Structure 1
Amino acid sequence: MLDGMTSPLTSLRGAWLALAGLSAVFLFEMLDNSILNVALPTIGHDLHASTVALQWVTGAYGVVFGGLMLGFGAVADRFGRRRVMLAGLVLLGLASLATVFVTTAGQLIAVRAVMGVAAAMTTPGSIALAFRLFTDDRLRVRAMTLISTVGLVGLAVGPTAGGFVLAVAPWQFLLLVNVPIAALAFAGIRAGIAADDPADLHHDPIDVAGVVLGTATVVLALVAPTLFVNEGAGSWAPWAATAAAVLGAVLFVARQRSAAHPLLDLSLVARPLVSAGLAFKAATGLAVAGLGYMVTLQLQLAWGWSPALAAVGMLPQVVVLVFAGPFVNRFVDRVGLDRAAWLSSATVVGGLAVYGLFGRFGYAWVALALVLVAAAIRVVGAVAGVNVLRGLPQNRTSIGAALVDTASEVSSGAGLAVTGTILAAIFTGSLAGSDWTARQAAEFGSAVTTAGLVLTAVAAALVGWGILRTRSATPSPAEPVAVGS
């Protein structure tokens, strides 16, 4: 059994069993929603589900997942990251098996919510445990790159694989695939990673009020963008959800400052490496969600591409996400962790700017924007999490990993809210209408340009803040040369 704290490893091969288990965890996270989306029409027909119910079939998972990560991160730092992850994998397997007995949309939504709980228990721990396996930061980046590559392959092949499965089997099989994935992850982690050393945990009481406020704030922050997109900026509901999220955030911060044992020590978040890493992750989350939403609408609605052709149009992004892993490692080795983080984050801003300024003038510009953003997030995905955990005490790594994932989830929702609100404000009529007038086509072009530039400005502000924080960090000792891969 491996123990990355007492027996530092010098290659990825030495941790292959643990990395297989951790990669399976990330595969579940990436594969889950992507493979299910293709089955939504079939699910709607079989379960007689309304449009709103179908939205919550996928939405319940994301909202519960995002809302509970901070709470479970705190639990894992107190009771053991490995223990919480193994319990989450058992819950995932049981919830997936329960799909066999689902007969209504409400039951499926409940199952998806339980899967969200399991994801909140397992996903942040995958970063924390991968970080723990090695003391060499370069090996940590390589481990993160490997784990994320497996997940991104699942994200890329999920819709296609789901389509093939639906041709020969009921839709329930798409969720039952989680059972063997959970079993593989459980076996790899249990056999490949030692139990947490009690000295690396902390034993402060859990801030229950902080957990409730933090969960409510994140849930509202994730629900609000959906309301903006579905009901429009003219409805009271999205604004009410946004106001409640802001109020929740204010109350959460006040609670953390006054609590004797806060859920989240704000002084830790203020550390340069931590705040910079979170800013970089937020910028990439904003870019991925906003750019993906705009490009999908542009290809199919503005340019009239079929769904299949639009999928082909997204291939440049998929190829970079899946195959850029080896280049990530070489890039980080060449420039170092800190420079890799801010250079790649600045490239995200560049990709958004290309789309905002030139995306309406032809597919070549769209493809360039997709490639730039994909290449950048490939690096940020591996480096930002390592930098955040480098800046935290050993007994706060799970809450740190949860912060990284929460920043990405909330900023993704914000990206959708920004683009959806700007489209609703500028475009008149129905986006889904089959025959746009010349005026509507011009409005759409103005809307995506405006949204792209707004996202560019917000991402640039986040990246600029992150760069300033990185430069104020205490220089780290020279990193040893990694051995093997």
Structure 2
Amino acid sequence: MSNSAVSKSAARAASPPVSSSPGRWLALAVICAAELLVVLDNTVVNVALPSMGVQLQAGFAGLQWVVDAYTLTFAGLLLAFGHLGDRYGRRKVMMLGLAGVAVMSLGGALATDLGQVIAARAAMGVFAAAVFPATLAMIINIFTDARERAMAIAAWTAMAGFAIAIGPTAGGWLLEHFSWHAVFWANIPVAVIVLGLAYLFVPESKASHTGKLDIVGIALSLVSVTVLVWTVIEAPHRGWLSVTSLVGFAFAVLCFAAFIRWEQRTPVPVLNMSLFRIRRFSLPALSITVGYFSMFGFLFMITQYFQGVMELSPLQFGLHSLPFAISIAIGAPLSTMIAQKVGTTAVIVFGLVVMSAGMLIAGQVKVETPYLGPVLISMVLMGLGMAIVQGPATESIMSSVALDEAGAGSAVNDTTREAGGTLGVAVLGSVMASVYTTEVGPRIDAIPDFLMTQSEKGFARESVIAVIEMVKRPTDPAFAQQKADLIYTMKSAALEGFELASYVTVSASLAVAVAVAIFLPWKPARESVFFDWEAKSN
């Protein structure tokens, strides 16, 4: 072991906590509230899309960009804002983000056309990217005791997963009582309150040593992540092998290569590339990526199931998805504590296997399958599996990062989540849609135009959620049986696509589980901390 490795480890162990008073737990509560606001913004709007579509006369593609505009700017700017937080103050950057979310939410609430809504969502994503990496970076600076940090990170991960799962319930409740504008109005008082609490109770932290700002690195990271996410979002519509998609992927790869080369050569990089040589950093990051790939894909498909197959209202959908949220909230803190005793590797591998089991069960669901059975079991297993993976994986990632690099490390952790989630929706949604469209398309095309307009046919070809409007629409008794047969075919085709997509998820999760089992050290991190620092110093 090198002397530099020992000195670095000793310096890290001797670093005093930013806050040693009981107030650090109040600071954690405020930080988690900021995280909750940002993550809810990423999901709650989904249930408002049908209402927006009717009032704003928006097509399917336009409504998708209401969601994707937020994802695009959010994912693209995480690394940049994480680095800026390290340099100029993480609380300061987070507070700027909270203020921006409040202002841009007002813009969304007052929007009168689809373009204004999309612009507001894109701007909200920009400011949300300022909030999210700062939250986790501040946690590891406030909690320097290993056990307390693990508990704090467990609370952070539980909140992230819980917010994603609770979004449909919150959105459904708002739509039961108000118009779609409420999903924007609700952000404003919450953001203002959390902003004030952050000023009062969250201590500031930033890197102790900073050099010249890495403008080139920030620009390359922004372009590469943004182009990749945009290409993934558009690929299901333009074609995965279309010229646009191939050029987009190629350009993103070139930008990533240029980013990596630049970061290896510049004296003060926006991202220390040597972190990826640390197995306790890179392999947990890969696990989180595939975890969010599975979870977001699962949530996308279960949304189709609850609304299109079970024909539930938005609020009913949210209530039926609560077991998923509860499983995450329970599993995240427990798994992080267990990982402190048995090691991160065993817990992550177990979590990936549990996720695989949940997705496999979900893929076997049929139209007649009752909710109280395989559907409920699959949600609980998916939620527990996700919680079991992300808590210890996040703790491992952040424990491998020096305090001065906390923002950049947090941004990598967050970017893997966004990239995995975006890929999950795009890839698994594309698999599901290809099966669905192949089976349903010819039958939809054969329907006379006086029974269904071209726009209605287009929506029915793309999504089983079209069933909701089809059921409500009055039908001549002479065509009632044909309508019932078509609706059943649509539901069956969607679930066949769900089944094929589940096999993709199961394969990916098990492959990563094997990789983690082989390459990630099995002993607890406290026994191998010098290995990590030695790897970083080489």
TM-score clears 0.5: yes
Cα offset, 1:341, TM superposition? 3.3
The answer to whether 1:40 aligns with 2:49 is yes
Offset, 1:425: 4.5
Moved more, 409-418 or 119-128: 409-418
TM-score normalised by L of structure 2:
0.77
Please point out which of 487, 498, 508 is paired with 1:448: 498
* Alpha-carbon distance between aligned partners in 1 of 2:98 and 2:280, rounded to the nearest angstrom: 31
Pairing partner for 1:229 from 223, 228, 236: 236
Deviation (angstroms), 1:438: 9.6
Q: How do residues 243-254 of structure 1 correspond to structure 2 at under 5 angstroms?
A: 243-254=250-261
Supply the AA of the counterpart residue of 2:262. Answer: R
**How far did 1:93 drift?**
2.2
Q: 1:421 to 1:207 in 2, by over 3 A?
A: same
Kept in 2: contact 1:24–1:182 (CA 8 A):
no
Measured after TM superposition, the shift of residue 70 of structure 1 is 0.7
How far does residue 129 in structure 1 lie from its aligned partner after superposition?
0.8
- The structure having more radius of gyration, on CA atoms, is 2
CA contact (8 A) 1:275 1:466 kept: no
Name the residue aligned to 1:483.
Answer: none
Match for residue 95 of structure 1 among 84, 89, 104? 104
What is residue 213 of structure 2 aligned with on the other side?
206
Match among 2, 6, 30 for residue 16 of structure 2:
6
Tell me the secondary structure at the aligned position of residue 476 of structure 1. helix
Name the aligned partner's letter for residue 184 of structure 1.
I
Question: Does the CA-based 8 Å contact 2:69-2:121 persist in structure 1?
Answer: yes
Aligned: 1:352 with 2:347: no
Q: Tell me how far apart the structure 2 counterparts of residues 227 and 331 of structure 1 sit (CA, whole Å).
A: 41
Q: Give the corresponding residue for 2:196.
A: 187
Match of 1:288 in 2: 295
**Structure 2 CA distance for aligned equivalents of residues 318 and 459 of structure 1:** 20
Q: Is the deviation greater in 31-40 or in 83-92?
A: 31-40
Higher mean alpha-carbon deviation, 279-288 vs 380-389, is at: 380-389
- Paired with 1:179 and 1:188, the residues of 2 have a C-alpha distance of 14
Shift of 1:221: 2.4
Distance in 2 (CA, whole Å) between partners of 1:26 and 1:217 is 25
> What secondary structure does 1:38 align onto?
helix
Residue-by-residue CA offset, 1:384-423 (whole Å, 9 max, x unaligned): 2221111111111111111011011111122223223333
The amino acid across from 1:465 in the alignment is A
> Alpha carbons of 1:193 and 1:311: their partners in 2 closer, same or farther (altered >3 Å)?
closer
- Output one character per residue of 1:166-186: Cα deviation in whole Å (capped at 9) or x when no partner: 455443332132222222322
Q: Secondary structure at the match of 2:520?
A: helix
Say whether residues 1:458 and 2:508 are aligned partners: yes
1:85 Cα deviation (Å)?
Answer: 1.3
How far residue 96 of structure 1 moved from its aligned partner, in angstroms, is 2.4
Match of 2:397 in 1: 388
1:83 aligns with 2:88: no
Shift of 1:50: 4.1
1:282 deviation in Å? Answer: 0.8
Contact 2:335 2:392 survives alignment (8 Å): no
| Distance change in 2, residues 1:450/1:52 (3 Å) | closer
Q: How does 1:399-478 map to 2 (within 5 A)?
A: 399-427=408-436, 428=438, 429=441, 430=461, 432=463, 435-436=485-486, 447-471=497-521, 475-477=525-527
Structure 2 Cα separation of the partners of residues 272 and 386 of structure 1: 13
In 2, Cα distance between the equivalents of 1:113 and 1:59? 8
Cα deviations by residue, 1:77-119 (Å, 9 ceiling, x for unpaired): 2222122112222222222233454333222222222211111
Q: CA deviation at 1:473?
A: 8.3
RMSD of equivalent CA atoms: 3.3
In the superposition, relative to structure 1, how do residues 396 and 283 fare at CA in structure 2: closer, same or farther (>3 Å)? same
Distance (whole Å) between structure 1 residues aligned to residue 249 and residue 402 of structure 2: 33
- Which of the residues 276, 280, 283 maps onto 1:273? 280
Aligned length: 470
CA distance in 2, matches of 1:44, 1:237: 27
Matches of 2:77 and 2:169 in 1, distance apart? 30
Out of 310, 315, 329, the position equivalent to 1:305 is 310
Instruction: Label 1:312 to 1:188 Cα distance change in 2 as closer, same or farther (>3 A).
Output: closer
Matches within 5 A, 1:128-143: 128-143=137-152
Label 1:162 to 1:279 Cα distance change in 2 as closer, same or farther (>3 A).
closer
2:80 aligned with 1:71, yes or no? Answer: yes
**Contact 1:392/1:400 (<8 A) preserved:** yes
SS in 1 for 2:211: coil
Partners of 1:163 and 1:317 lie apart in 2 by 16
Contact 1:354 1:365 in 2 (8 A): yes
Alignment partner, residue 174 of structure 1: 183
Q: Closer, same or farther in 2 for the Cα pair 1:465/1:206, shift >3 Å? A: farther
Shift of 1:139: 1.7
The unaligned stretches of length 5 or more in structure 1 are: 480-485
* 1:192 CA drift (Å): 2.3
Write the distance in 2 (CA, Å) between the matches of 1:474 and 1:141.
13
- Seen in structure 2, the aligned counterparts of structure 1 residues 251 and 432 have a Cα distance that, compared at 3 Å, is same
Partner of 2:271: 264
Cα–Cα, structure 1 residues 298 and 236, in superposed 2: closer, same or farther, change >3 Å?
A: farther
**C-alpha distance in 1, partners of 2:74/2:249?**
19
Distance (Å, rounded) in 1 between the aligned partners of 2:399 and 2:325: 30
Q: Which runs of 5+ in 2 are unaligned?
A: 1-13, 442-460, 468-484, 530-538
2:24 matched residue in structure 1: 15
More deviation in 47-56 or 84-93?
A: 47-56
Relative to structure 1, the CA distance from residue 82 to residue 179 in structure 2 (aligned partners, 3 Å threshold; closer, same or farther) is same
Q: Judge conservation of contact 2:166–2:325 (CA < 8 Å) in 1.
A: no
Q: Residues 141 and 42 of structure 1: is their aligned pair in 2 closer, same or farther, counting only changes over 3 Å? A: same
Q: 4+ residue runs of structure 1 moved beyond 6 angstroms? A: 8-11, 437-443
Deviation of 1:209 after TM superposition, in Å, equals 2.5
Distance 1:418 1:389 in 2: 29
